[in-house]
Amino acid sequence: MLTAKQQQLLRYIKEHLDRGGVSPSFEEMKEALDLKSKSGIHRLISALEERGFIRRLANRARALEIVKLPEGMVPATSAGVGEGVVTPLLRKPAAVPARATPIAANDVVEIPLHGRIAAGLPIEALEDRTMLAVPAALLGAGDHYALEVSGDSMVEAGIFDGDFALIQRTDVARDGQIVVALIDESEATLKYLHHEGRKIRLDPANRDYQPQIYDAGQVRIQGRLAGLLRRYN
């Protein structure tokens, strides 16, 4: 079941593709749904993608495909997006064939920038003091936040002091993934995750640092690395 806003956005994307063959920009979608920020559009897009109604083509910020339409809804070509018109169907619609979408200019979304990863505070305790504009192509499905990297413990993974780590919120991760791990509910760190029985090993990516080993109950996963942003002065 889709929310009213999700249905409106799906219908708007479909009509935009049908008219010009190019998916709308985040700015166009924000204005069409009368939202205040692009982050709201990003959440709607992620929800539609997770439910299998749309698909984002890799490395193309504005390349959206309609995979299927929900039962009981077809695009209201004669109605505005905000009217929320739903047309009943006599049968379940077939999946819409995938189409090649031209590459367009990058869209950006805004995600919370919580602070420096070595700040020694739980992620939940950090205030959303500012937002960071991020190319949408760097983010996949789900909710994201950013942390500024402090230190050189992950340099061999290409993560340097001052980089912005783009983190997908999750409390689960596989061995070998780079995660934000909260230790003893007090200190957050960015490290490779490994399970060893009832222990958790957090590995740095710098041979000058030693792995950190904790009881499983001491460690809580708060996200996994989705991408990086780097400033060049």
Give pLDDT tens digits for 7-17: 888 888 888 77
Does the predicted model carry a pTM greater than 0.75?
no
Q: Is residue 101 part of a domain?
A: no
Q: How many domains does the chain have?
A: 2
Q: 24-33, 97-106, 143-152: which range is least confident on average?
A: 97-106
**72 shares its domain with 115:** no
pLDDT at 161: 87
pLDDT tens digits, residue range 111-151? 888 777 753 344 544 545 688 888 877 777 788 889 888 88
3-state helix, strand, coil in the chain (%, to 5): 20, 30, 50
Using the predicted structure, report yes or no on whether residue 195 has a pLDDT greater than 50: yes
Using the predicted structure, report yes or no on whether residue 192 has a pLDDT greater than 80: yes
pLDDT at 176: 94
Domain with residue 116: its CATH number is: 2.10.109.10
**153 included as an active-site residue:** yes
Specify whether the backbone of 55 is left (phi greater than 0), alpha (psi in -120 to 50) or beta.
beta
**12 shares its domain with 69:** yes
Please identify, among 24, 48, 83, the residue that sits at the C-terminal boundary of a domain. 83
pLDDT at 13: 85
**62 shares its domain with 174:** no
More confident site: 96 or 68: 68
Q: Residue 223 to residues 48, 51, 110, 171, 201: CA-CA distances in angstroms?
A: 21, 21, 18, 6, 16
**191 included as an active-site residue:** yes
pLDDT at 2: 77
**192 shares its domain with 130:** yes
What sign for the dihedral angle of Cα 95, 98, 99, 101? positive
Containing structural domain, residue 135: 108-229
Specify whether the backbone of 185 is left (phi greater than 0), alpha (psi in -120 to 50) or beta.
left
Catalytic-role residue among 150, 153, 186, 199:
153
Catalytic-role residue among 5, 38, 191, 199:
191
